[in-house]
Amino acid sequence: MRKTEGFGAALLAWYDTHARVLPWRAQPGENRRADPYHVLLSEVMLQQTTVAVVEKRFPQFLDQFPDLKTLAEAPEADVMAAWAGLGYYRRARSLHACAKALMAQHGGVFPQDEKALKALPGIGDYTSAAISAIAFGEPAVVVDGNIERVVTRVARVTDEMPGAKKLIKGEAAKLMPDARFGDYAQAMMDLGARVCRPKAPDCLLCPVRSYCAVAGSAEAESLPRKAHKRKRKTVQGVMIVLRREDGAVLCEERPADGLFGGMLGLPGGGWDGRAVPEVAATLRDAGGVTHILTHRRLEIDVKTGPTDGSPGDGVWMQPDEARAAMPTLFVKALERALS
């Protein structure tokens, strides 16, 4: 039987001297735990989003919404606008709903157990465990993409993802120390990010290589095993930039569900299941914009022209204000039309 005793202690010792310094984190030895609201916000922001991006956006968001109550009471449009450019915009809507639920159902006090946390909007298996461990020191089994990778290698889990998830969670539980559960979870993630990387893992300086089933072997890089992804489809459409005499641009709020749901966007269609507005045919061709999503490739023709017409169900906004509140795709289309 592989020895797991001592794994946690070895990793924590490494973390004590190698922890990344991050704005939402209580550093090891700081003798405090991170603020639950900060942990919630950072964890949601970090879902499928790189640390580099979150390091920049977390302080800005926190500045605008300094505490749970402020976030809960903020207009939804403000929250969505603050999320612009971060992607996966349902996260913003869920985060807002989560803050409201915490105020309404928990008196503004975070529950500490995973189960109660997971019942909140936008909080799933990973995030509930992470908040429970990091903000409250609970012995939750935290498994994210980094930890998945570390565990499949340490325990040599060769089953294909995502089927192996249950097995991985079991193995992850075996590796846990008997204290410092929050530090441990973050240590695992730091290890996965910096040492036990997807490509070219740095086994030579890994603090837990003596516990690892595949350390130093070529097999390490092959784990976890993942099925190949299917090719994305190309979708074509049109975006319309109508300009008023004062320079304002016609914008519109997108439907709550679907691509860029609830965000500020531009009129148009053909790429999102909606018909191309007839005005498009009367406007100047401003060029094209290509935008790559995880499972789709959008090829957009940008049309522009002056108008004194009524706003319809849209809203006139100055370009600077619009840019700040719109997903990147729309910003690109706007740039194309205005430059």
CB closer to DNA, 192 vs 207 = 192
Q: Binding to DNA by residue 81, rule CB under 7 A?
A: no
- Which tokens sit at 84? 């612009």
Residues in contact with 79: Cβ distance below 8 Å, sequence separation at least 6, in sequence order: 65, 71, 92, 93, 95, 96
Q: Binding to DNA by residue 259, rule CB under 7 A?
A: yes
Burial call 110-132: b when 16+ CB within 10 Å, e when fewer: bbeebeebbebebbebbbbbbbb
Burial call 206-239: b when 16+ CB within 10 Å, e when fewer: bbbbebbebbeeeebeebbeeeeeeeeeebebbb
Query: Side chain identity at 65, as an amino acid letter?
Result: F
Q: How far is the CB of 315 from DNA (least distance, A)?
A: 19
CB closer to DNA, 279 vs 338 = 338
Residues in contact with 128: Cβ distance below 8 Å, sequence separation at least 6, in sequence order: 114, 115, 117, 118, 120, 140
Q: What is the DSSP letter of 314?
A: -
Q: Binding to DNA by residue 220, rule CB under 7 A?
A: no
Q: Binding to DNA by residue 130, rule CB under 7 A?
A: yes
Please, how many CA atoms are within 13 Å of residue 246, restricted to the half-sphere of its CB?
5
CA angle 151, 153, 157 (to 5 degrees): 80
The binder of DNA chosen from 29, 228, 275, 310 (CB under 7 A): 228
Alpha helices in the chain (DSSP H): 7-18, 36-45, 51-64, 68-73, 76-83, 90-106, 114-118, 125-136, 145-154, 165-175, 181-194, 319-325, 328-338
Q: How far is the CB of 28 from DNA (least distance, A)?
A: 13
Q: Binding to DNA by residue 229, rule CB under 7 A?
A: yes
Q: How far is the CB of 310 from DNA (least distance, A)?
A: 28
CB closer to DNA, 49 vs 307 = 49
Q: Binding to DNA by residue 156, rule CB under 7 A?
A: no
The binder of DNA chosen from 57, 79, 144, 208 (CB under 7 A): 144
Q: Kindly state the number of chain residues that form the binding site for DNA, as judged by CB under 7 A.
A: 61
Q: Binding to DNA by residue 125, rule CB under 7 A?
A: yes
Q: What is the DSSP letter of 271?
A: S
Q: Binding to DNA by residue 115, rule CB under 7 A?
A: no
CA dist 147 → 53, 133, 186, 294, 318 (Å):
20, 14, 9, 22, 45
Q: Binding to DNA by residue 124, rule CB under 7 A?
A: yes
CB closer to DNA, 24 vs 37 = 24
End-to-end CA distance of the chain: 65
Of 93-112, binders to DNA (CB under 7 A) are 94
Specify whether 299 is catalytic: no
- Which residue out of 43, 114, 148, 171 is catalytically annotated? 43
Q: Binding to DNA by residue 65, rule CB under 7 A?
A: no
Residue 216 has phi, psi (to 5 degrees) of 80, -5
- Which tokens sit at 203? 């086994």
Q: Binding to DNA by residue 183, rule CB under 7 A?
A: no
The binder of DNA chosen from 53, 248, 315, 324 (CB under 7 A): 53
Site stretch for DNA (CB under 7 A), options 6-14, 117-125, 151-159, 313-321:
117-125
Q: Binding to DNA by residue 7, rule CB under 7 A?
A: no
Q: Binding to DNA by residue 36, rule CB under 7 A?
A: no
Q: Binding to DNA by residue 48, rule CB under 7 A?
A: yes
Q: Which residues are catalytic?
A: 43
Query: Which residues contact DNA by CB under 7 A?
Result: 20, 22, 24-25, 42-43, 46-53, 85-90, 94, 121-128, 130, 144-146, 149, 186, 189-190, 192-193, 197-199, 226, 228-231, 258-261, 290-296, 327-329
